[in-house]
Amino acid sequence: MWLTVTEDIYLDFLQEEDSQEIFYLIEDNRPLLEKYLYWAKSVQDLESTKQYICQRIYSNHIGSAWYKIICDNKLSEIIGVKAIDQQNRNAEIGYWLSAHCQGRGVMAKVVTRICEELKNQAGVAQLKIQCLSENTASIAVARRAGGIHSGTIPAYHTIDGKSQDLMIYTIAL
């Protein structure tokens, strides 16, 4: 266990060995994930799931770290620190949440705890969260964690024929 969030939520390092469990989680949540996450359509079997995991845990981005979130003793989601810019003291995170944990404030608690850890352990002063304009749940998480809308990239990605803007939220730590 890497980080305790609450008595029933904790983070542990994501590993290649998690591929099968992650694949089943993606399959169970595919319609939701494909609606907002560009990578979801390319993860179709165990091998592509392992590639998805390896691209994240072996990235060369400074400060990158990826975690599985365990909620109620069950693998429930993924969160990652995509990179830390030490010179500018900022970081970016990305995450996704399985349907069985949605609406319970799980991700907001996890993001708040990650913010504390990044501030205290890495000296990060700002955290960025980017999400598509239609992803109201992710936007709500960013706002609950103290995120302020700080930018928009128009027509960033098209999903199911619908162009979506990329919303950028900044959290001062």
CATH number at residue 162: 3.40.630.30
Q: Could you tell me if residue 109 is left (phi over 0), alpha (psi between -120 and 50 degrees) or otherwise beta?
A: alpha
Flag whether the pTM goes above 0.95.
no
Rounded to an integer, what distance in angstroms lies between the CA atom of residue 129 and that of residue 151? 11
Rounded to an integer, what distance in angstroms lies between the CA atom of residue 88 and that of residue 83? 12
pLDDT at 5: 96
pLDDT at 15: 97
Query: SS3 of 82, please?
Result: strand
Strand stretches in 21-125, DSSP E: 65-71, 74-85, 90-97
Choose among 59, 136, 123: nearest CA to 90.
123
Q: The domain containing residue 53 runs over which residues?
A: 3-172
pLDDT mean by block of 10 residues, the chain; 173 residues: 91 97 96 89 96 95 95 93 96 92 91 95 96 94 95 93 95 96
- Domains identified in the chain, total number: 1
Residues 6+ apart with CB under 8 A from 58: none
pLDDT at 172: 97
Rounded to an integer, what distance in angstroms lies between the CA atom of residue 82 and that of residue 65? 7
